[in-house]
């Protein structure tokens, strides 16, 4: 018996079934159309911010950008921020202006950036001061990895341990002997709690077994004036800045802080080889932005900064100053920051460093 006869026997006319199938198919199409429209609307809703931020990044920057340096003028962060700003102004056709806001161990300037609009027009030039502050000053008005996002690394350089010429020590071993003979009588300057200069001093004290009093200053320029003027006996300073003062005899260099001797001070031994085995401390610089800054803008800034610092002429100039170019993606910089926070937290714990 054919299919039509079976349907007739069952009391169902084939035309009725065909109509029913057509209605089902049409209803299904209407259902799918409604939901596809909803899905399309949802997709547009979800993707709209991404699309708009991507378009925003394409035009960025449309006005001047401010780079806040939370340290005093004349230090490495200030010097290199101005150099990077000049190149970015040329490549992005908008002004990148450096503004110094020192004080409170870089907290004042950093907090200003953390509270700025996350639009890529306020950036922070930061250093390992910021990673040490995470453990040294936990009750800050901001938290580094919560309120700021990594944009790009810039460079790193060694420090130079120097003393005023009036200190009766011709080399590092004599200085350590003097500090041990008169515990608590010698002072060392820094540009504030948590700065690389402070932490280099605390690491030196812990590893050399000496008791030297920390004298914090508001800015690196003040720190230098204190030591060069003989008001404070010792300090750690960026080799990029202090090498010329040492060559001029304004201070006596006892050692550099890198793993090997610096190319710009080849006659000065490392602290590790001069009397404190295993000692090593550097200063590095990077750029961050307020949390919430659109990723396309962060990526564009990263690409432009990496392009700038990778220029052969930039690398050559910085090498003469003792600085080494450091290129990282935002994700790599994030990993680097978290590792550095952990590293200096251990130093803070072991040395007992505190904010005066």
Model pTM greater than 0.85?
A: no
Q: State yes or no: pLDDT of 7 exceeds 50.
A: no
Among candidate residues 345, 343, 313, 340, the one with its CA nearest the CA of residue 328: 340
pLDDT of residue 2: 53
Contact between residue 84 and residue 305 where contact means Cβ atoms under 8 Å apart:
yes
pLDDT of residue 240: 84
pLDDT of residue 220: 85
Q: State yes or no: pLDDT of 319 exceeds 70.
A: yes
Contact between residue 140 and residue 107 where contact means Cβ atoms under 8 Å apart:
yes
* φ, ψ for residue 255, nearest 5 deg: 175, 155
- For residue 232, the 8-state DSSP code is S
Band (pLDDT 50/70/90 cuts) for residue 3 is low
Question: Which tokens belong to 128?
Answer: 């390992």
Query: In 93-156, where does DSSP find H-type helix?
Result: 107-114, 128-136, 144-147
Q: State yes or no: pLDDT of 137 exceeds 70.
A: yes
More confident residue, 10 or 171: 171
Q: What is the pLDDT of residues 157-180, one digit of tens each?
A: 999 999 999 999 999 999 999 999
Q: What is the pLDDT of residues 241-280, one digit of tens each?
A: 899 999 999 999 999 999 999 989 999 999 999 999 999 9
Question: Which tokens belong to 355?
Answer: 């904010």
The CA-based angle 323-238-217, given to 5 degrees, is: 150
Alpha-carbon gap, residue 181 to 345, rounded angstroms = 30
Band (pLDDT 50/70/90 cuts) for residue 75 is confident
Band (pLDDT 50/70/90 cuts) for residue 192 is confident
Alpha-carbon gap, residue 29 to 35, rounded angstroms = 10
| DSSP string over 291-339 | TT--HHHHHHHHHHHHHHHTSHHHHHHHHHTTEEE----HHHHHHHHHH
Question: Which tokens belong to 18?
Answer: 């065909």
More confident residue, 319 or 356: 319
Alpha-carbon gap, residue 94 to 63, rounded angstroms = 6
pLDDT of residue 118: 97
Band (pLDDT 50/70/90 cuts) for residue 353 is confident
Band (pLDDT 50/70/90 cuts) for residue 330 is very high
Alpha-carbon gap, residue 292 to 305, rounded angstroms = 20
Q: What is the pLDDT of residues 199-222, one digit of tens each?
A: 999 999 999 999 999 999 988 889
Question: Which tokens belong to 282?
Answer: 């550097």
- For residue 65, the 8-state DSSP code is E
Band (pLDDT 50/70/90 cuts) for residue 322 is confident
């Amino acid at each position: 018996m054919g299919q039509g006869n079976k349907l007739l026997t069952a009391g169902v006319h084939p035309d009725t079934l065909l109509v029913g199938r057509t209605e089902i198919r049409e209803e299904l199409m209407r259902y799918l159309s409604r939901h596809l429209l909803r899905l399309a609307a949802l997709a547009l809703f979800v993707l709209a911010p991404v699309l708009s931020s991507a378009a925003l990044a394409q035009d960025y920057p449309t006005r001047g950008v401010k780079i806040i340096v939370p340290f005093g003028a004349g230090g490495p962060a200030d010097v290199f921020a101005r150099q990077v700003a000049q190149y970015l102004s040329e490549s992005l056709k908008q002004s990148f202006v450096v503004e110094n806001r020192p004080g409170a161990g870089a907290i004042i300037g950093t907090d200003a950036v953390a509270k700025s609009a996350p639009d890529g027009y306020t950036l922070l030039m930061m250093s390992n001061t910021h990673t040490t502050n995470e453990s040294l000053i936990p009750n800050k008005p901001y938290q580094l990895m919560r309120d700021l996002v990594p944009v790009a690394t810039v460079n790193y350089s060694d420090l130079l341990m120097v003393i005023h010429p009036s200190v009766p020590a011709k080399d590092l071993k004599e200085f350590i002997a003097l500090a041990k003979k008169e515990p608590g009588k010698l002072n060392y300057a820094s540009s504030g709690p948590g700065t690389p200069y402070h932490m280099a001093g605390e690491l030196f004290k812990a590893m050399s077994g000496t008791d030297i009093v920390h004298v914090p200053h508001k800015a690196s320029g003040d720190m230098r004036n204190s030591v060069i003027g003989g008001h404070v006996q010792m300090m750690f300073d960026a080799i990029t800045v202090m090498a010329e003062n040492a060559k001029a005899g304004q201070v006596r260099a006892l050692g550099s802080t890198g793993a090997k001797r610096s190319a710009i001070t080849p006659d000065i031994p490392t602290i590790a080889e001069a009397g404190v085995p295993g000692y090593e401390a550097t200063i590095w610089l990077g750029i961050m932005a307020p949390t919430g800054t659109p990723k396309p803008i962060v990526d564009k800034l990263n690409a432009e900064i990496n392009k700038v610092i990778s220029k052969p002429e930039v690398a050559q100039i910085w090498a003469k100053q003792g600085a080494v170019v450091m290129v990282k993606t935002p994700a790599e910089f994030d990993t680097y920051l978290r590792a550095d926070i952990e590293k200096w937290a251990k130093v803070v714990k072991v040395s007992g460093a505190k904010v005066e």
